[in-house]
């Protein structure tokens, strides 16, 4: 399972800009083989979930609150193991819904079909999937066209050792850096850069709790240029709630709005 988070996207005039929504140094071998990297990834996956947990889960509903700009909003993130995503963000006067139907990404305001549904750009859809899908980038890097590199053990600002793994995509040009705790092998931080020149968006994960055999971070904070953008707190998680496919599709009453209108 991945984590509820979305980019600070530029909306049309009908949408508001908001984040929807990551002891001494250890000696590391000079040569870190592919088998060692695979072992680290296996330890990460085993730390996140019991061996049978993912096999028994078909859908997940994550409910919580996001704090941004002095305001608190409620959200619900729905994920299916087949890749579909639905993110519902309730603001003061409107509810924004964003989905990935397995092929395209859509965003609309609930109850306002006259505004249409915006088709996400390729970059927006990719970021949405990377941060909100059932499977994390480290679970299935090939699903996101990532190559994986091990960059060694680093000591964080709390003097704790972390494994640094980098995922990069030649096809999309983006990079995800992940820091895994060297003791419990859970993900502690994640940074995202859409290109080499971009400043990283950093997300930290904490307050891990075991729910239905899977460890989930109940608190996430996002930082950009050393400024906190949002804090997310999960309040409830439900598994296998029987979501139907139409729940992840654009309503037929909403007309398509072209990608150009999102710029």
pLDDT digits (tens, 9 = 90+) for 151-203: 999 999 999 999 999 999 999 999 999 999 999 999 999 999 999 999 999 99
pLDDT-derived band at 33, boundaries 50, 70, 90: low
34-262 in CATH: which number? 2.50.20.10
Q: Given a cut of 60, is residue 59 above it in pLDDT?
A: yes
Q: Given a cut of 90, is residue 230 above it in pLDDT?
A: yes
Which has the higher per-residue pLDDT, 3 or 196? 196
Q: What are phi and psi of 208, to 5 degrees?
A: -70, 135
User: Considering only CA atoms, which of 99, 81, 88, 80 is closest in space to residue 64?
Assistant: 88
pTM given for the model: 0.84
* Count of beta carbons in the 10 Å neighbourhood of residue 101: 17
The pLDDT of residue 34 is 55
- pLDDT-above-90 percentage for the chain: 72
Which has the higher per-residue pLDDT, 34 or 154? 154
* Count of beta carbons in the 10 Å neighbourhood of residue 1: 25
The pLDDT of residue 27 is 35
The pLDDT of residue 30 is 33
What b/e sequence results for 63-72 when a residue is b if at least 16 CB atoms lie within 10 Å of its CB, and e otherwise? Answer: bbebebeeee
Domain map of the chain by residue range? Answer: 34-262
pLDDT-derived band at 18, boundaries 50, 70, 90: very low
Convert the pLDDT of each residue in 92-147 to its tens digit.
999 999 999 999 999 999 999 999 999 999 999 999 999 999 889 999 999 999 99
Weakest mean pLDDT among 19-28, 42-51, 134-143: 19-28
Q: Given a cut of 90, is residue 26 above it in pLDDT?
A: no
Q: Is the dihedral of CA 188, 31, 45, 1 positive or negative?
A: positive
The pLDDT of residue 118 is 96
The pLDDT of residue 24 is 30
Which has the higher per-residue pLDDT, 23 or 65? 65
pLDDT-derived band at 2, boundaries 50, 70, 90: low
Q: DSSP alpha helices (H): ranges in the chain?
A: 34-48, 122-132
């Amino acid at each position: 399972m991945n984590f509820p988070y979305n980019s600070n996207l530029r909306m049309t005039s009908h949408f508001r800009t908001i984040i929807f929504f990551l002891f001494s140094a250890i000696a590391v071998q000079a040569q870190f083989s592919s088998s060692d990297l695979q072992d680290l990834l296996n330890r990460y996956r085993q730390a996140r979930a019991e061996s049978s947990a993912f096999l028994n889960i078909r859908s997940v509903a994550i409910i919580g609150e996001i704090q941004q700009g002095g305001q608190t909003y409620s959200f619900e993130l729905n994920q299916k193991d087949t890749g579909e995503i639905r993110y519902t963000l309730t603001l003061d006067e409107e509810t924004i819904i964003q989905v990935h139907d397995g092929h395209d990404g859509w965003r609309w305001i609930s109850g306002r079909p006259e505004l249409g549904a915006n088709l996400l750009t390729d970059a927006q859809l990719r970021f949405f999937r990377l941060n909100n899908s059932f499977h994390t980038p480290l679970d299935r890097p090939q699903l996101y066209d990532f190559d994986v590199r091990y960059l060694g053990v680093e000591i964080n600002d709390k003097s704790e050792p972390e494994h640094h793994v980098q995922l990069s995509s030649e096809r999309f040009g983006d990079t995800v850096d992940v820091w895994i705790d060297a003791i419990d092998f859970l993900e502690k931080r994640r940074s995202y850069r859409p290109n080499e020149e971009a400043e990283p968006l950093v997300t930290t994960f904490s307050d891990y709790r075991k729910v239905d055999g899977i460890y989930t971070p109940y608190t996430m904070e996002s930082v950009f240029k050393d400024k906190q953008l949002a804090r997310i707190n999960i309040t409830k998680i439900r598994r296998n709630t029987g979501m139907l496919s139409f729940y992840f599709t654009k309503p037929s009453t909403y007309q398509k709005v072209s990608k150009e209108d999102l710029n």
